Amino acid sequence: MWSSWQEITLWGISVFEIVMVVIILLGVLLISGFFAHLVIKLIEKLVLTTQTSLDNEILATLRTPLKFIFVATAIYFTIEYLNPSLQASEWLSQITRSFVIFTVFWIIYRVMTPLSLFFEKIAGLMGDVDQELVHALRDLLFRIIKLLIVFTGLATLLYEWDINITGLFIHMGIAGSVVAFAAKDTLANFFGSFVIILDRAFKKGDWIMTPDIEGIVEEIGSRVTKVRTFSKALVTVPNANLANAPITNWSKMSNRRIKMNLGLKYGTSRVQVEHIIQRIKDYLHQHPNIETDPEKVVTLVHLTEFGQSSINILLYYFTKTTKWRGWMLIKEENMLEFMKIVEEEGAAFAFNSHSIYIEKLPTEEFKKML
């Protein structure tokens, strides 16, 4: 009877071998489950000694896959111990390798979740980055990565079972090319968003200027950036365009510049010009809202040229504030003070004019002109 059981086969495998595999496998699984519990507890103790929370999150997501590793290992050693027939050994080995492949890709897939949170923390260290944009980019990026992991794992399993995947790759490649061509602008804008984040060119609320647009950034999305122009129109700009365009971020000015020319009448004396220049210099250096530190800015008050109708003095300096309204108020205050200085020195501002000097005209010719 014992020999008859050994002779009965199922799918080419002895029923006796199947029964023995099941019995031994159950025993090994119980032992491996207990061993897995001990190993995970030991890893938990090691993880608790670290200061970062990333390893805690990784261990939490990998708890189940780690237990499955011991299951796959138990299956493998059971098969090796029983040493079944060649046909059964090949069949069981394929199952074991499939378990291992599945477990490896399962671990990689699960570890993407804590890594995505780590990506968000890294982005948070970059300063004032739009968190909504970071969330959108994180979700889209790791969704693509997970799809690639699933596709690669499935292809590996099919290859393990000798299923021809060449045709599948060809069809997937053609379909992928069509989709990639159709979505090339979307992908360009997506990677443009990464460039904006990594370069930190601007953030929400900044005043930016490009060759095509100028205004206040209202929203940075995963595909487009919305800019409110000074005429209050909302312009939507693809991120790929912004990533490749020269951007002036006026909000990152350290100081704001004032540049003007004072034109004095030609009747102004040298002494008057010297006094006006000196008084303007003293005024700017004493003004609390004017930056005159030579390590930070350049301050210039100089006689520059004799123009067609005026003696020109260049004023070139910077305010401490970069706010437009505050800058305008300071500039207005300065201009009124400059007028006061010129008036107190007995001089006056010139205006555009042309002088014609007539030395002498013949009497007869003069009469003809009249």
pLDDT digits (tens, 9 = 90+) for 11-61: 455 666 667 667 766 776 676 666 666 766 776 666 666 666 666 666 667
pLDDT value for 264: 95
Using alpha carbons only, how large is the chain's radius of gyration in Å? 40
Helical spans, DSSP H, in 228-323? 239-243, 270-286
Number of other residues whose CB lies within 10 A of the CB of residue 290:
19
pLDDT at position 202 is: 84
Q: Is the pTM of this model over 0.75?
A: no
Chain segment 169-208, per-residue pLDDT in tens: 565 555 555 555 545 666 677 777 777 777 778 888 899 9
* First-to-final CA distance of the chain: 149
Q: Say if CB 221 and CB 131 are below 8 A apart.
A: no
- Side-chain-side CA neighbours of 166 within 13 Å: the count stands at 2
Taking the C-alpha atoms of residue 345 and residue 343, their distance in angstroms, rounded to an integer, is 5
Most confidently predicted of 114-118, 154-158, 204-208, 365-369: 204-208
CB crowding 313-337: b at 16 or more within 10 Å, else e:
bebbbbbbbbeeeebeebeeebeee
β-bridge partners, 303:
313
Collapse the DSSP code of 294 into the 3-class scheme (helix H, G, I; strand E, B; otherwise coil) and give the result.
Answer: coil
What digits encode the pLDDT tens for the residues 285-333?
999 999 999 999 999 999 999 988 899 999 999 999 998 899 999 999 9
Share of the chain above pLDDT 90, in %: 28
3 vs 351 pLDDT, higher one: 351
pLDDT of residue 216: 93
Percent of the chain with pLDDT over 70: 61
Topology of the domain comprising 200-251: SH3 type barrels. (2.30.30)
Give the least confident one: 100-104, 195-199, 221-225, 300-304.
195-199
- Which of 68-77, 90-99, 130-139, 147-156 is most confident? 147-156
Name residues whose C-beta falls within 8 Å of residue 240's C-beta, 6 or more positions apart in sequence: 185, 188, 189, 191, 192
Lowest mean pLDDT segment, chosen from 118-122, 331-335, 348-352: 118-122
Residue 314, both tokens: 């260049």
Tokens standing for residue 46: 């090691």
pLDDT band at 1 (very low <50, low <70, confident <90, very high): very low
* C-alpha to C-alpha distances, 369 to 252, 357, 365, nearest whole angstrom: 64, 17, 6
Query: For residue 2, is pLDDT > 50?
Result: no
**Residues 262-281: tens digit of each pLDDT:** 999 999 999 999 999 999 99
101 pLDDT tier (thresholds 50, 70, 90):
confident
The crossing angle, in degrees rounded to 10, of helices 54-82 and 86-124 is 170
Of 17, 102, 36, whose CA–CA distance to 74 is shortest?
A: 36
Q: What is the pLDDT of residue 146?
A: 84
Where exactly are the structural domains of the chain? 13-182, 200-251, 253-344
Q: What was the pLDDT predicted at 158? A: 82
Q: DSSP states of 170-225 as a string?
A: HHHHHHHHHHHHHTHHHHHHHHHHHHHHHHT---TT-EEE-SS-EEEEEEE-SSEE
Q: How far is it, in rounded angstroms, from Cα 291 to Cα 342?
A: 23
Distance, C-alpha 369 to centroid of its chain:
77
3-state SS, residue 290: strand
Digit-coded pLDDT (tens) for 128-173: 555 656 666 677 677 778 888 888 888 888 887 777 766 655 655 5
CB 10 within 8 A of CB 84: no
Measured between alpha carbons, how far is 283 from 313 in angstroms, rounded to an integer? 15
Average pLDDT over residues 61-68: 71
Q: How far, in Å, CA of 77 to CA of 69, rounded? A: 12
Q: Residue 340 — φ and ψ, nearest 5°?
A: -65, -45
**CA pair distance 95, 173, nearest whole angstrom:** 29
Question: What is the H or E stretch that residue 304 is in?
Answer: strand 300-306
CA geometry: angle at 298 spanning 230 and 295, to 5°? 110
Q: Between residues 261 and 151, which one has the greater pLDDT?
A: 261
The torsion of the CA quartet 361, 366, 369, 370, rounded to 10 degrees, works out to 140
Q: What is the reported pLDDT for 274?
A: 96
Output the CATH code of domain 253-344. Answer: 3.30.70.100
